[in-house]
């Protein structure tokens, strides 16, 4: 078995290393990025998602399109944990827009802080998750 060392920690595979750390940097050409994004699209709704593909419904776009990879992974895991409905439509998968999904996003303090800095407002009305 090949182990990957990342930040002084050993992982069984590269995917585990990337999802544990969350934010990572790679130099890719467009073709390689598209291939990785295609793989990640197939990982939507599983714990193998590594933060490149869009996993949200159109109505979540203002919250999530500028989120970091680490923030996307966290929200994705929370959607799975809280059973936000996953819809499959014409070969694509995404989480359905619902009150529980909005609550999860608004309660994630790092993302709301980032959005508050970007738009000049901070909304911390919900209980924070982390």
Q: Which one has a higher pLDDT value, 26 or 70?
A: 70
- Of 2-11, 21-30, 114-123, the one with minimum mean pLDDT is 2-11
| pLDDT value of residue 77 | 93
What span, in angstroms and rounded, lies between the C-alpha atoms of 127 and 130? 9
* Model confidence pTM above 0.85: no
| pLDDT value of residue 33 | 85
Query: Tens digits of per-residue pLDDT, 93-128?
Result: 888 889 998 889 888 888 887 777 554 554 444 445
| pLDDT value of residue 114 | 72
What span, in angstroms and rounded, lies between the C-alpha atoms of 116 and 122? 4
| pLDDT value of residue 68 | 86
> Which parts of 5-127 fold into alpha helices (H)?
14-21, 30-42, 61-64, 69-81, 99-107, 109-119
Q: Which of the four pLDDT bands, split at 50, 70 and 90, describes residue 129? A: low
Query: Tens digits of per-residue pLDDT, 11-20?
Result: 555 555 555 5
């Amino acid at each position: 078995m090949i182990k990957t060392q990342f930040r002084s920690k050993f992982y069984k595979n590269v995917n585990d290393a990337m999802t544990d750390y969350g934010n990572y940097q790679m130099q890719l050409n467009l073709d390689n990025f598209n291939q990785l994004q295609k793989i990640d699209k197939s990982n939507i709704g599983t714990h193998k998602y590594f933060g490149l593909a869009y996993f949200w419904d159109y109505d979540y776009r203002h919250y999530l399109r500028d989120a970091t990879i680490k923030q996307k992974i966290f929200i994705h895991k929370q959607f799975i944990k809280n059973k936000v409905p996953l819809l499959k439509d014409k070969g694509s998968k995404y989480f359905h827009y619902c009150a529980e999904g909005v609550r999860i996003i608004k309660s994630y303090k790092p993302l709301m802080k980032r959005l508050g800095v970007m738009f000049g407002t901070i909304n911390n009305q919900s209980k924070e998750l982390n």
